[in-house]
Structure 1
Amino acid sequence: MEHPEPGTVTVTATGDGTYTHQVTTATHELLVDEPTALGGADAGPNPYELLLAALGSCTAITLRMYADRKGIPLTRATVRLRHDRIHAEDCEKCETERGMLSRITREISLEGELDEEQRARLMVIADKCPVHRTLSSEIVIETHETGR
């Protein structure tokens, strides 16, 4: 398969399973699928797991970059994420008041000889990772058919 230009991702059915798809970037390839319970072959993470992986990896990388730049003795950041849906009325911080909305729970474990001020600062920085900012801002998705 031809690799797209940097900054572009291509997703194409593999033909190997009902929902198995090949994700191709400029330099990488991976499979995405649904679990067998949903009719997939479980050949790779599902789309929501990829979304969580994007947020978690961006968070961990942002923390590492900040700690390195500021000389903070962070030895490791582990990010654990979960996605679920909740009733809007159960959300104190949400603008949406009715219906269901998505919630991502992110737990961050910071390792290293960190004082309380450094820990607090790193937790603030976690919310500044680019993927977090993208997911928490207004997003416009434009869809166009090609190849006709």
Structure 2
Amino acid sequence: MSITVRRDGLHGTQHTLRIRDHQITVDAAEAAGGHDAGPQPHDLYDASLGACKALTVLVYAQRKNIPVEDIEVVVARDDSEERKGVYRLNTTLRVTGALSEEQRQELLRVAGKCPLHRLMTEVRTEIETRLV
């Protein structure tokens, strides 16, 4: 699978991100010279963690017949020390349904093991960029 990002027009910072049959507009914030016409790359990075946690918890709950009604994950970014090598993402998980405290703790544990959480914290990512 490949993801394509292509500039929209000749002016401004807006781009179109294509993943399979999906399109997302991405842009820089106004403070960075953009028009804030879509999420910034950091937003997508952070959102991927929240989405992964939500989907992981839901699929796990369905497999284990845990009566989850609603799931909300909130991701808060602290990038104040990013240039020093520290990028903090604080997540909160809200799960509703007729759940015991044991089930709630089990779902919290599962959220901490979602594939993106592990990718962001346990895996070394290697990136190669070529000019074509």
State the TM-score, normalizing by the size of structure 2. Answer: 0.90
> Which residue of the partner structure matches residue 142 of structure 1?
127
Q: RMSD of aligned C-alpha atoms?
A: 1.8
Question: Identity over the aligned pairs, expressed in percent?
Answer: 34
Runs of 5+ consecutive residues of structure 1 not aligned to the other structure:
1-6, 88-98
1:74 aligned counterpart, secondary structure: coil
Contact 1:52 1:81 in 2 (8 A): yes
How do residues 34-53 of structure 1 correspond to structure 2 at under 5 angstroms? Answer: 34-53=28-47
The match for 2:101 among 97, 110, 116 is: 116
**Structure 1: 4+ residue segments shifted above 3 A:** none
1:123 CA drift (Å)? 0.2
Pick which of 107-116 and 9-18 moved more: 9-18
> Which residue of the partner structure matches residue 105 of structure 1?
90
Q: Which has the larger radius of gyration?
A: 1
Residues 19-62 of structure 1, C-alpha deviations (whole Å, 9 max, x = no match): 21110112111111112222101110111111111111111000
1:81 aligned counterpart, secondary structure: strand
Task: Note if 1:133 corresponds to 2:118.
Answer: yes
Contact 1:85 1:102 in 2 (8 A): yes
> Which residue of the partner structure matches residue 78 of structure 2?
84
Contact 1:85 1:100 in 2 (8 A): no
1:15 CA drift (Å)? 2.1
Task: Name the aligned partner's letter for residue 58 of structure 1.
Answer: C
> Which residue of the partner structure matches residue 90 of structure 1?
none
> Which residue of the partner structure matches residue 68 of structure 1?
62
Task: Note if 1:25 corresponds to 2:16.
Answer: no
Task: Name the aligned partner's letter for residue 123 of structure 1.
Answer: L
CA distance in 2, matches of 1:78, 1:8: 29
State the TM-score, normalizing by the size of structure 1. Answer: 0.81
Runs of 5+ consecutive residues of structure 2 not aligned to the other structure:
none
CA distance in 2, matches of 1:44, 1:15: 15
Residues 80-126 of structure 1, C-alpha deviations (whole Å, 9 max, x = no match): 00111366xxxxxxxxxxx4511100011111111000000000000
